[in-house]
Amino acid sequence: MSNTVRILGIDPGLRFTGWGVIACRGSALTYEASGRIAAQTEGEMAARLWDLASALDHIVATHGPDEAAVEETFVNTNPRSALKLGQARGICLLAPARSGIPVAEYAANQVKKAVVGVGHAEKAQVGAMIARLLPQAGKVSADEADALAVAICHSSHRRAPRRLSA
């Protein structure tokens, strides 16, 4: 398909990282693939981050996205947890970038607003809209739904700078 852009959406997490790939042709969206990377819960942080990076490298190589989008980290009240999540998020930004893929970032409220219509939507609402917008996806985990929502958000925002400059 010409003029089709494949977008990888990533919902970072240290325990579970959701990912989803959609194809975007104009305003038409098609589900390609999605999954959830389950990191080991024990062991050295470096090994856990290595596993995450390896899994994301495999996803990028397998699905060949043209662009990627990552959800920004939710501010956590526990500084130690926020730091660990930030490290995982760094890996999520790095994996597509080192393959030469442009990476965008979106706040959680921006993602929810793009998919559900309100910035403070519940996870169940996001999941319901993913099922409606991408019925080919079938039943997906909450992490996958969030990642697909990030990809959908990017599909609607990626053309904005070009529209403004035109």
pLDDT in tens, 24-63: 998 899 999 999 999 888 889 999 999 999 999 999 999 9
105 as an active site residue: the answer is no
| pLDDT attached to residue 2 | 60
**For residue 96, what are the domain limits?**
5-165
- CA 92 – CA 31 distance, rounded (Å): 21
The residue from 11, 67, 144, 146 that is catalytic is: 11
| pLDDT attached to residue 161 | 54
11 as an active site residue: the answer is yes
CATH number for the domain harbouring residue 134: 3.30.420.10
Total structural domains in the chain?
A: 1
| pLDDT attached to residue 75 | 65
143 as an active site residue: the answer is yes
| pLDDT attached to residue 27 | 86
Cα–Cα distances in angstroms (integers) from residue 19 to residues 32, 39, 78, 136, 137, in the given order: 11, 13, 25, 16, 12
Q: What is the mean pLDDT of the chain?
A: 90
Question: For residue 129, is pLDDT > 80?
Answer: yes
